[in-house]
Chains A and B, each alone.
Chain A
Amino acid sequence: MLALPERPYSTTAEREELLPFRVRLATGTQDVERAVEIRASAYARHLPHVGEALQKAEKEDFRPDVLLLIAERKLDRRPIGSMRLEPNFIGPLRVEGETTLPERFRNKRLVETTRLGVDNGIAGTLVMAALVKASFEICSACDIDYGIAVGRRSVGEMFRSLCFDVIEGPVRMSYSLRTLFWVFAIPTLEWEARLRERHHFYFDFMARTDHPDIDIDYGHVFDAFGMR
């Protein structure tokens, strides 16, 4: 049995910070429904036709190798953010159904971040940062080589600012032909160094601050990602 993973940062935490919400893995149908609710409303603001299509859970939400992160307020447990992590261990990534990834991604352990949705949709929110931190820590714990993400122009700006590389774009996706998308990747092992070099405020949030409210069940993670 694997022990809890060590902090994946080269620097020690200087402080602990509480959040007004908790980030955890969704477990069970009720949690999936809560994640779907926040995802549909987040997408509906910018891509109404996609938001409408996302009002029901997708088959990927129930895949045993897929992790669904959910952020919920402590006060009333209302969901305020969600994100899905889909690995390529069993089959190709979702994005690989739309485009071919460059050769350097062949035979690598990849995780695609999909269906990122936050209540008020602002890239700078604390909820977004906490979801990103949780996903990074999961990827580090599971020896993921690259995190992959697909985003339209505005979301793409966020991934660029988070030091992701643009690997393709603009491209049209089958699920939203009217909108242009970009494909991004980040080497997990380089992410912390990139954030530090850019003096990015996520570096302080992620590497120098402990967040006990990011409460990931690593037993579940290791089971889902076949680590034990």
Chain B
Amino acid sequence: MIVVAAVPLLVGALLFCAVRPCARRLPPALAVRLLTVLALSVALCSGLVLSVLAVLVGAQLGPMPQIGNWSAEAIRRESDLPVLAGLAALLIVAGFLTSAAIQAGRSLRDLTRARRLAQTLHPVGDTLVLIEDEVPTAYAVAGAGGRVVVSTSMLRALSAPERRVLIAHERAHLRHGHHIYLHLARLAAAANPLLRPTADAVAASVERWADEEAAAEVGDRQLAAHTLAKAALVRTERCGSHEALAIAESYVVERVQALLAPPTHRRRSLASLVLLGFGASWAAAATVALWGNNVVQIAEAVYHHR
């Protein structure tokens, strides 16, 4: 059973190693959806599996057998778990849950704050918000129906077709609710550190998704690539320093390269591999949960027949 219990963690470990190249080979919209669902599944399933192990060991300790009316001896025999493994599982689950709860709280707080701030931005027309930042800036904020914030310096640096790429990119973020995927992936990563690269891959794929939508809208991937590069170069030039880099990585070089390369086609094999990981995680979690339930039932029967 230990082997089955290890499956979600194993899927997590595989993701840890291989998620970035995997995400790059999938069409970005598919990658975002698949990886977000897989990350949440792995986080939930590994948490579930570890909880079962922790409960089985915890049920043998101290006054628990008297309180629950089950036989500690039967649980030990049936589950065949080392006490140390159970204690480790308990600690890990507690850690995961705490960090997930903190992240969930933080996400909610940040989203609420962003929404409130978005309401104080005055748009010209329905969504466009102009600012006078010397550093060319553009971003989308969800909330208040969605706002596209652009500095006039950015608009001046771009030609009309390039501005169209920029607008289409930001609108794609808003239209598809990209921030939701980012927060869910972040939540999964908080619940299981093995999923951190997956959260990063989701963040990168979200940008790629918006890039591809923009390229499709103007019907020219080269133009989209040039716009991105130009915006990044102008921004870097005006910033002067490179210190801000650590704060907001947005994978510009990777994105430009992807737009200059031929579009990624759906890869059946890769997508099914992701689905396999999803299925395996849930199957393992269900098996372990049923087994744990079974063990406790036997222990209860043993207790009552004494």
A binds B: no
Q: Which residues of A contact B (CB under 8 A)?
A: none
